[in-house]
Structure 1
Amino acid sequence: MPRIPRERDARQRSRPAGNALSLFGVALGVLIAAAAPAAATDISLIASPIPPFITEEGTGPVVRLVLDLARRVGNNPNVSVVPLGRALDLAHDRPAGIFLLGRSPEREDMLSWGPILVEEEMVLLTRTGAENAIGDLAAAKARHIGTLQHSVTEELLLEQGFGNVTGVPTNILAARMLDAGRFDAWCVPLHAADAAIRAAALPPKGFRNALTLSKLPLYLAFSHQVPQADIDRWSAAFRAMQADGSYRVLMTEGAPGQAVGSER
């Protein structure tokens, strides 16, 4: 009687089960990969200098804040600080996050808008003791106003009917021009005014907050190359920082006090 190759037959019978297990493993891997959340887009982080929040050297509380956000969402934690016009140009041709930006009708469709990182008071400063004090909006519109060129403050002044507005390249220059009487008032976010007056080596008591025009929310915005799902991740990370207290710590650490006085 011929010998029956039992071991060989057993191995042959086991092959279909092994193949089935292999196919099951592949299918399971595909399902897990499909269920896993997509990796966030790595974006360029671009800031325009707005002391004291963002300095030209790439320091400041808002820089620290955005770097912490980047780490939380797994983004490359590097920030480029460039002038505002250059920052807006760079955001057109790459996935980018840009900050701090005021929101205006002109900019509305240029970018996608993320969380409000800072809310500032937009004020009109005059020289202390200046004649013809500005008491209300109607009086302000009759004056010569200086402000940062290409900024949301310049856009808002023109939209609100201010007819005599001069845009200047930097807030430091604006502080010096107001001090020299080159215009009647300076429209500027209050903390930015304090920083510029210090940088210009001018006495803070020489300036007065004549009129608060409005609150000015300043955003982290994104180029249209960044998917909405990624913007939602950044916004969720920001809300988590507010909830766990790290937002307050980062924004108050080393922040200077207000120096400019008020007539109110």
Structure 2
Amino acid sequence: MAVASLGICGAASAAPDGGVSLIAADAGVFCTLDERNPTAPGNGMVCDLLRELSRRVGHPQSPKPYPLQRAMMVAATGPGIVMAPLTRTPLRERNYQWLVRLFDEDFVVVAKRGSNVDISTLDKVGRLRVGVVREGVSAEHIKNHGWQGLQLATRDVANARKLDRGRIDAWVGPWNGILSTQRAAGLRTEDLRRGVLLKRTGVYLVGSPDLDPAIGGAWKKAFDDMIRDGSYGRVLHQYGFVSPPPSTVP
């Protein structure tokens, strides 16, 4: 997956492999951008998956790092965009071609271990002060629950620190993202207590609506090959990814 330079309006200029540009969205544990050097390659599990997929399809450049909201906008408008990671939700369904289901992730509620707050059901969580990322998937999932104590943050690291300091009672997010963010904040994962499952969702590699289906098929084949030869599993193991237990995905 090569990334050509993107214009100010988000349109991608032609790339060597049929005009495809690759974007890595800043999504916490999965692909993180360096705020001090925003043009530097992203780091994380999905960034590594993208680089390997890119190599296999013969895409000559590295993924272009973008903040999540901007990455979503560019991928929805094209032309010729391949982007990851993106969680699949009903509101996003029509905006992209959903090329490859990279993995599943559980969105859960956590509290500080030793606290007496009840996070066993969604109704009980709704009475608490709950930290969530603004405009993130967690916020989208819970907006119809009518929770009154939502505390919005721009990044999950703020939720980790708020929970540690007692400024919120609970925190909602993807389980692997929560664990990684807790470590990044210099806090112990052992200090977290996991509660009710909000939703299980798939995290995808997506294409812009105009993307040639043959190009999407090449990326899918490269992913299938990674699974078969074990390289996919090795990347997940390297990052300590905790796969959700088998079940029917909502």
Which TM-score band applies after superposition, normalised by the shorter structure? 0.7 to 0.9
Q: Whose helix fraction is larger, Structure 1's or Structure 2's?
A: 1
Partner in structure 2 of residue 85 of structure 1: 69
In the TM superposition, what is the alpha-carbon distance from 1:144 to its structure 2 partner? 2.8
Instruction: Give the partner amino acid of 2:186.
Output: A
Give yes or no for contact 2:120–2:196 (8 Å, CA) kept in 1. Answer: yes
- Cα deviations by residue, 1:52-81 (Å, 9 ceiling, x for unpaired): 322224122221211111222222331122
- Cα deviations by residue, 1:122-149 (Å, 9 ceiling, x for unpaired): 1101111222322222212333321112
In the TM superposition, what is the alpha-carbon distance from 1:163 to its structure 2 partner? 4.5
Give yes or no for contact 1:49–1:56 (8 Å, CA) kept in 2. Answer: yes
User: Helix, strand or coil for the counterpart of 1:118?
Assistant: strand
Partner in structure 1 of residue 174 of structure 2: 189
User: Helix, strand or coil for the counterpart of 2:92?
Assistant: coil
Structural RMSD (CA): 2.1
Find the aligned partners of 1:225 and 1:48 in 2 and give their Cα distance.
19
Structure 1: unaligned runs, 5 residues or longer: 1-38, 259-264
The alignment's TM-score, normalised by the length of structure 2, stands at 0.79
Find the aligned partners of 1:198 and 1:225 in 2 and give their Cα distance.
39
Find the aligned partners of 2:70 and 2:225 in 1 and give their Cα distance.
31
User: Helix, strand or coil for the counterpart of 1:182?
Assistant: coil
Change (3 A) 1:249 1:132: closer
Radius of gyration: which is bigger? 1
Give yes or no for contact 1:46–1:97 (8 Å, CA) kept in 2. Answer: yes
Residue identity over aligned pairs, in percent, reads 29
Instruction: Give the partner amino acid of 2:112.
Output: R
**1:1-264 matched pairs, under 5 angstroms:** 41-57=18-34, 58-91=42-75, 92-253=77-238, 255-256=239-240
Structure 2: unaligned runs, 5 residues or longer: 1-15, 35-41, 243-250
Instruction: Give the partner amino acid of 1:247.
Output: Y
Give yes or no for contact 1:41–1:226 (8 Å, CA) kept in 2. Answer: no
In the TM superposition, what is the alpha-carbon distance from 1:193 to its structure 2 partner? 0.9
Change (3 A) 1:132 1:63: closer
In the TM superposition, what is the alpha-carbon distance from 1:45 to its structure 2 partner? 1.4
Instruction: Give the partner amino acid of 2:96.
Output: L
Find the aligned partners of 1:205 and 1:247 in 2 and give their Cα distance.
28
Change (3 A) 1:111 1:257: closer
Find the aligned partners of 2:113 and 2:144 in 1 and give their Cα distance.
28
Give yes or no for contact 2:117–2:169 (8 Å, CA) kept in 1. Answer: no
Instruction: Give the partner amino acid of 2:220.
Output: S
Find the aligned partners of 2:150 and 2:18 in 1 and give their Cα distance.
41
